[in-house]
Chain A
Amino acid sequence: QVQLVQSGAEVKKPGASVKVSCKASGYTFTSYGISWVRQAPGQGLEWMGWISAYNGNTNYAQKLQGRVTMTTDTSTSTAYMELRSLRSDDTAVYYCARDPPGSGWQDYWGQGTLVTVSS
């Protein structure tokens, strides 16, 4: 069965970086994309960006350009999302999700990773 298992919760200070991992199983990793979506406490969903696990092509939300990097390691079927220069408003649950090829939709989701930014 398809599973996306994310790394554990993180607490970071303002200005630091965080790197969240997302290990995929149950499907051919390189045949799908991975999107990252975050959700601040009590708020709605925010699309952060997408990476093709086939060729590493990426597209990031404009507001995060320059602070976010998404990568994949096809040898371990793992996707990563790194966010730099953290601010308090980056406190959120970060989700990875699988994108069927060419679809733009997210059909399987990880369990979420809480990132808390606090001094």
Chain B
Amino acid sequence: EIVLTQSPATLSLSPGERATLSCRASQSVSSYLAWYQQKPGQAPRLLIYDASNRATGIPARFSGSGSGTDFTLTISSLEPEDFAVYYCQQRSNWPSSDFGGGTKVEIK
């Protein structure tokens, strides 16, 4: 099992600010990392796959970077609809996979 550690657990920011979320893997996952957004009562939504590729329909303010063990999701300027929980997921040992514990982005 590959352990994904997300930090911080909670990020308190205001609309318009930049959000930087971290995901660290217990061993290298190459670029096999994705990011998901989940709002209360909804299913997760794929944002970024293969570390830096935006999924279909995802706004350009979302970007992903990193490789190996350290990854970052950046939201360049927070919109009101971006306040949610974000999860990273690795698939380097597919068809096995693991999720991180999540980062909640809340309104300050």
Query: Which residues on A are within 8 Å of B, measured CB to CB?
Result: 33, 35, 37, 44-47, 50, 57, 59, 61-62, 95, 97, 103-107, 109-112
List B residues 1-34 near A (Cβ within 8 Å): 1, 32, 34
Assess the A109–B49 pair: CB atoms within 8 A.
Answer: no
Residues of chain B lying within 8 A (CB to CB) of residue A33: 95
Segment with Cβ contacts to A, from B60-68, B70-78, B96-104: B96-104
Contact of B99 among A47, A57, A103 (CB under 8 A): A47
Q: Which residues of A contact B96 (CB under 8 A)?
A: 47, 59, 61
Question: Which of chain B's residues have a CB closer than 8 A to the CB of A46?
Answer: 99
Please list the residues of chain B having a beta carbon within 8 angstroms of any beta carbon in chain A: 1, 32, 34, 36, 38, 43-46, 49, 55-56, 87, 89, 91, 94-102
Rounded to whole angstroms, the CA-CA distance of A47 and B44 in the bound complex is 12
Cα distance A33–B34 when bound, in Å?
Answer: 17
Pair count A-B, CB < 8 A: 58
Given A44-B87, A44-B101, residue A111 in contact with residue B43 (CB < 8 A) = yes
21 interchain pairs, CB-CB under 8 A: A37-B44, A44-B101, A44-B102, A45-B44, A46-B99, A47-B96, A47-B99, A57-B95, A62-B1, A95-B44, A97-B44, A103-B91, A104-B34, A104-B95, A105-B34, A105-B89, A105-B91, A106-B46, A107-B55, A107-B56, A110-B43
CB atoms of B94 and A104 under 8 A apart: yes
Q: B91 to chain A: which residues have CB within 8 Å?
A: 103-105
Q: How far is the CA of A27 from the CA of B20 in the complex (A)?
A: 35
Residues of A within 8 A of B99 (CB): 37, 44-47
- Cα-based distance from A94 to B102 in the complex (angstroms): 18
* Minimum C-beta distance from B31 to chain A (A): 12
A37 to B94, CA, bound (A): 15
A45-B95 contact in complex given A106-B44, A111-B43, A112-B43, C-beta closer than 8 Å:
no
